Amino acid sequence: MYSYSKYCYYSLKVVLGLIFITVLFFFYEEKFNLLNKFLDITNTKDIIYSNSIDHPQYDLIIDLQSAFIRNAKNVGPTVVNISKVKEIISTNLEEFSSNNKYNYGWLVLKKWIDNNFRGKQFISESIGSGIIINNNGYILTNYHVIKNHKKILIRLSDSRDFFARIIGFDSNTDLAVLKINSFRNLPHATFQTSHNINVGQWVMAIGSPYGLEGSVSVGIISGMGKSNSGMTIDENFIQTDASINPGNSGGPLIDLNGNIIGLNTTAVGVGSGFGFAIPITRVLRIVEELIDNGYVERGWLGIGVQTMTPALFTALDVTNIKNGILINMVGPNTPAEMGGMKQGDIVTQFDGKYVHDTTSFQRMVYESQVGKIVALNIIRGGSKKIIHIEIGRLTS
């Protein structure tokens, strides 16, 4: 009897408990739904969409994709493939040349006939990329792409081929300008230099990596103002992780708006994951001089320099200065020698600007107007001095 009563008592408690929970559920149902919605938003990784277009960020992804496609269509036709060309010598002519029974006169005549009536044959090998910069047929590329090549073949995006001539080059910035002649209009790039460039923004590289014409790669800007790579003397690179491989050199680096912001110049080792481009503002200044003069005019002092280190400051007994470069050579009959500069001088300021390393100092000198007299703050024998030097001329 006792155990039966105890059983009824506990059963009644269970039933009352279930009734209480049911009442609470219906009373707070709306709040439970709000809580579930909140949990769904904060745990989007668990959401399974029936279709990709249902994703809340689908439109943003499509807009990004549309920008890539638009830029490839608009800028791609302005990018050319550059090849080196070698003439094929006729096999018959080689046999003719090696046969001693023919005299020299006949040999010269045979060669003249082959060159002028039989037509020449060539083999080409892709070496890089370039950008058509105007309708006159001027093409921008890297100097290292065309260096030591006498015959250069340009292939347009529509597969037309032209032999190009070199207008000018500048080895210090690794830039060169070529020219082709065409009776038809040429697609050419437009340059806008007023936009900002920021680390982290999307970029695209277009070119002919490994001879694959019109190839596009995508990445971001990884860094700005990179130097000391040893590739050129005058360096101020954009660093990007957009794939830049052999053959991309001379092609454009563009932003999402289709603006050309740089000229791809090199990858830092195959498979390294990043490469360098020359900022377009710097490129256009050099290109203008190359088209007008065939060379680039720069400031020149005629000295050798090295960056100061803590050990050098201590060895030279200079403790109150933390910036500067050391002059380790002064050439004879140079602007530096005529201005009174000596080996062992420490330059701390150039034309009112502080000097921190050899790269920044060389850039200051290069960008100085030829003939301008500039003041250099130096330390000589522990004493501070100011000397004045007239900037000389250095041509590429």
Domains assigned to the chain: 77-179 (2.40.10.10), 202-295 (2.40.10.10), 298-395 (2.30.42.10)
The residue among 158, 113, 157 whose CA lies nearest residue 131 is 157
| C-beta atoms surrounding 8 within 10 Å | 10
CA distances, 159 to each of 84, 88, 137, 156, 297 (Å): 16, 22, 16, 5, 36
pLDDT at 7: 60
Q: What's the angle, vertex CA 376, arms to CA 373 and CA 382, rounded to 5?
A: 150
Average pLDDT taken over every residue of the chain: 82
- pTM of the full structure: 0.71
| pLDDT tens digits, one per residue of 52-108 | 666 767 788 888 899 999 999 999 999 999 999 887 765 454 555 555 555 566 667
**CA–CA distances in Å: residue 33 to residues 20, 29, 42:** 19, 6, 15
Q: In which band, very low, low, confident or very high, does the pLDDT at 42 lie, cut at 50, 70 and 90?
A: very low
pLDDT at 372: 94
CA–CA distance, 359 with 305 (Å, rounded to integer): 10
Which residues does the annotation mark as catalytic?
144, 174, 249
DSSP 257-322: TS-EEEEEEEESSTTSS-EEEEEHHHHHHHHHHHHHHSS-EEEE--EEEEE--HHHHHHTT--S--
- Two tokens, residue 250: 């001379």
Lowest mean pLDDT, pick from 30-34, 244-248, 285-289, 332-336: 30-34
